[in-house]
Amino acid sequence: MNPAEASYPAERHYTVRVRPAAFQDLEHIRDYIASDHPDNALAYVGRLVDAIAALSFMPGSWPRVPTRHIRDLRQRLIGSHRILFQVVEEPPIVVVSRVVHAQRSLPPIIRSLKTES
């Protein structure tokens, strides 16, 4: 069969929801960067926000976080930060839980996510 004639499933778009803790994380990141580099703060947080918005397309392609405690917890690395999110298939939703520095230890963060659920 010619690839041009093949039928492919329609692209599925997910609604992206950002939890309050993730919004607070973005504000803290902005404030931290602005203390030394005010011109860079909004640009960097803008990159993070763009990456969060892009999770509406194929969110399952990002790697899973190895944990038994939270179902389908995934991550996307942008710069020096990790966007933590879950994918819900029905209805198609991505829930962004946190945006944290990539060097932070994940177990305490995952424990805090468990208590929010």
Please state which CATH class domain 15-116 belongs to: alpha beta
What is the chain's mean pLDDT, rounded?
Answer: 88
**pLDDT band, residue 1 (cuts 50/70/90):** very low
pTM of the model: 0.85
Count of positions (residues) in the chain = 117
What is the pLDDT, as a whole number, of residue 71? Answer: 78
* DSSP conformation letters of 4-53: TT---PPPPB-EEEE-HHHHHHHHHHHHHHHHH-HHHHHHHHHHHHHHHH
Give the model confidence (pLDDT) of 36-66 as tens digits. Answer: 998 899 999 999 999 999 999 999 999 999 8
Report the candidate in 107, 112, 88 with the shortest Cα–Cα distance to residue 20: 112
Give the model confidence (pLDDT) of 59-110 as tens digits. Answer: 999 999 988 778 789 999 999 999 999 999 889 999 999 999 999 988 888 8
Judge whether residue 4 has pLDDT over 70.
no
What is the pLDDT, as a whole number, of residue 113? Answer: 83
CA angle (53, 62, 15) in 5-degree steps: 35
What is the pLDDT, as a whole number, of residue 116? Answer: 62
